């Protein structure tokens, strides 16, 4: 094995920019600091190279933690061509877009007292029940605007919701005509609100309606890249989409805090994905282990700074 590239010691200087810091981490090249610097390189190439269709996977409670704004900005700047998200992140995106807020709290608390105070906790983020009351009112009104007896796909439903918002992920996607896929939308407050509306109305959601659109995107992609925040359904939905085509992903960056040795998808390495043909043999890939509320902003700040 080669052993001719030395680890360079990092020296912090008062005037350092994020780009300077990432470059220094690249020169050290060790552990997840080195992986983070490689993620900046791969993501930068994926963003700049022409002919790359860029998929973005969003899992975990990222919007409540303030990460939704980065996704919105990336979409607005044209760096995301396809978004696949959990229903929870889109629910919280809607809550923010209708004027409600998530609040900084603490994990050192009495959850029974929070329950009595009608406050929901996401680790150290608090969300009052009144936000869900406003969310329900908004969702029922938005669903009412869909003609009864309609048959629509999940992405069409999300585009309709986004067209009734002025800010956030779904609003930006609707304005920019970026498809948003959420194959597990039932597993969210959006799904519960649609179930409630369907008790007295005849709208049908075609659960497989998005597959044609997704496959068309995959087959027409000259090259494909994936940036995955977390794992779960969004990660698998993105990676498996290329299985029906002759090619896999040419670029893939994964941010995760999960272990690979438990066999779960969220911790599965991108090298493992090569065995399935989801990722090309010669693809540029990297997994960065850590808290995505740290790694995601750092990577994107460095990429956009370059």
Q: How far apart are CA 226 and CA 16, in angstroms?
A: 30
Q: Is-catalytic flag, 235?
A: no
Return the SS3 of 196: helix
Do the Cβ atoms of 299 and 39 come closer than 8 Å? yes
- Residue that has been written with the tokens 């790359």 in this structure: 52
In angstroms, how far apart are the furthest CA atoms of the chain? 70
Cα 182 to chain centroid, rounded: 11
CA dist 8 and 13 (Å) reads: 15
Q: Whole-angstrom Cα distance, residue 276 to residue 133? A: 44
Among 48, 134, 177, 278, which one carries the catalytic annotation?
A: 278
- Residue 180 is inside which H or E element, if any? strand 180-181
The set of catalytic residues is 278
């Amino acid at each position: 094995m080669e052993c001719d590239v030395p680890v360079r010691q990092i020296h912090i200087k008062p005037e350092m920019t994020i780009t300077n810091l990432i470059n220094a981490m690249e020169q050290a090249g060790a552990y997840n600091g080195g992986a983070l610097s490689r993620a900046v390189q791969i993501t930068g190439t994926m963003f700049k190279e022409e002919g790359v269709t860029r998929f973005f996977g969003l899992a975990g409670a990222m919007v409540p933690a303030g990460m939704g704004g980065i996704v919105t900005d990336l979409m607005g700047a044209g760096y995301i061509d396809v978004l696949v998200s959990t229903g929870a992140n889109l629910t919280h995106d809607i809550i923010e877009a209708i004027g409600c807020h998530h609040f900084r709290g603490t994990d050192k608390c009495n959850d029974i007292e929070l329950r009595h105070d009608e406050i929901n906790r996401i680790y150290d983020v608090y969300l009052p029940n009144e936000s869900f009351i406003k969310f329900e009112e908004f969702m029922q009104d938005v669903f009412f605007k869909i003609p009864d007896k309609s048959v629509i796909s999940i992405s069409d439903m999300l585009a309709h919701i986004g067209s009734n918002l002025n800010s956030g992920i779904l609003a930006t996607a609707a304005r920019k005509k970026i498809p948003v896929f959420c194959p597990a939308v039932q597993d969210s407050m959006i799904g519960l609100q649609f179930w409630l509306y369907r008790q007295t109305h005849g709208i049908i959601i075609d659960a497989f309606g998005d597959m044609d659109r997704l496959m068309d995107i995959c087959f027409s992609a000259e090259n494909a890249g994936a940036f995955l925040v977390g794992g779960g359904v969004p990660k698998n939905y993105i990676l498996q989409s290329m299985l029906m085509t002759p090619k896999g992903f040419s670029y893939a960056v994964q941010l995760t805090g999960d272990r690979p040795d438990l066999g779960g998808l969220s911790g599965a390495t991108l090298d493992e994905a090569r065995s399935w043909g989801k990722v090309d043999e010669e693809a540029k890939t990297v997994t960065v282990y850590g808290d995505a509320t740290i790694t995601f902003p750092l990577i994107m700040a460095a990429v956009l700074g370059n």
